[in-house]
Amino acid sequence: MGQGEIGAKPAGRQAFLAKRPHERPRAADAPRIHAPSVVQEGASLGPGAVVGAFSFVAAGARIGAGTRIQGHTSVWAGVTLGEDVFVGPGATFTNVRRPRARFPRQAVTAEDWDQTVVDDGATLGARATLVAPVHVGRCAMVGAGATVTRDVPAHAEVVGVPARIVGWVCTCGASLGRSRPAAKAAKPSACARCGRTFHREGDGLREARLTSAP
């Protein structure tokens, strides 16, 4: 594998369909909130969202459809989670960069807080910490225990304290390999597990639409 190449040769349409991992059906029913969790009035939860036990969702937090929040997690005002985001147990969000107990933030709306945005399909590992303001790109993967202090590109895999890019991940979660940043990669990437292909976009990757077999 070349230094700038990520993953295997793209698969044809039939192989793509045969190998594609099972996807969870999108539930249209109301969000599920497991006791003794608390969701304040004014929080927004999309259809099929799940809030695990011993969690707290503040007024002004936004949680997209199909997102699953594991137990012992607090989601504050100023936090926006897209659709189908996975939040591991004990993940930590913040909404004030330099807090003081003696000088509380005079916030009127959710936008008055330091913002955390997690795009559709991203994963936050157990006990990951996101220090606002920060943006986690679409389908990015944040490792367990990582501390995110800067924006994470789409489909990047980050680990450590502070979090750093160590590789790239497919929409299905499979690794696309360890490589230098996507912006410097020589070739598009392909997932050996499901056949999805990707092209470079900005500092990250974007899934390419499969139109026909090669």
- The string of pLDDT tens digits covering residues 150-178 is 999 999 999 999 999 999 999 999 999 88
Q: Is residue 102 part of a domain?
A: no
Residue at 6 is within a domain: no
Give the range among 44-58, 87-101, 142-156, 167-181 with minimum mean pLDDT. Answer: 167-181
> How much is the pLDDT for 43?
97
pLDDT, tens only, 106-120: 877 888 899 999 999
Structure tokens, 64: 């997209």
Residue with tokens 């099929």: 48
Query: 8 lies in a domain?
Result: no
Give the global pTM. Answer: 0.85
- Structural domains of the chain, count: 1
Closest CA to 15 of 166, 177, 196: 196
Strands of the 189-190 sheet, one edge to the other:
189-190, 197-201, 204-208
On whether residue 2 sits in a domain, the answer given is no
Look at 60-69, 73-82, 178-187, 201-210 and tell me which has the smallest mean pLDDT: 178-187
pLDDT at 1 (0 to 100):
39
What amino acid positions are annotated as catalytic residues? 72
Q: Which residue has the tokens 């929409």?
A: 171
How many whole angstroms from its chain centre is CA 163?
A: 14
pLDDT at 12: 54
Of 134, 128, 124, which Cα lies nearest the Cα of 87?
124
Query: What CATH number is associated with residue 154?
Result: 2.160.10.10
What secondary structure letter does DSSP report for 182? G
On whether the CB atoms of residues 176 and 168 are closer than 8 A, the answer is yes
Helical H segments across 10-120, by residue range? 13-19
Terminal-residue alpha carbon distance, the chain: 21
136-151: pLDDT as tens digits: 999 999 999 999 999 9
Q: Is residue 162 part of a domain?
A: yes
- C-alpha distance from residue 193 to each of 38, 68, 158, 207 (Å): 38, 23, 20, 14
Does some domain include residue 52?
yes
174, 190 Cβ separation under 8 angstroms: no
In a domain, 5, yes or no: no
Among residues 142, 134, 55, the alpha carbon closest in space to that of 94 is found at 134
The boundaries of the domain holding residue 150 are 13-22+30-96+112-208
Look at 203 and 179; give whichever has higher pLDDT: 203
3-state SS, residue 57? strand
Which residues sit opposite 152 in a β-bridge?
136
* Distance between CA atoms of residues 149 and 105, nearest Å: 21
From the number of C-beta atoms within 10 Å of its C-beta (0-12, 13-18, 19+), residue 6 rates as buried
Rounded distance between C-alpha atoms, residue 211 and residue 81, angstroms: 30
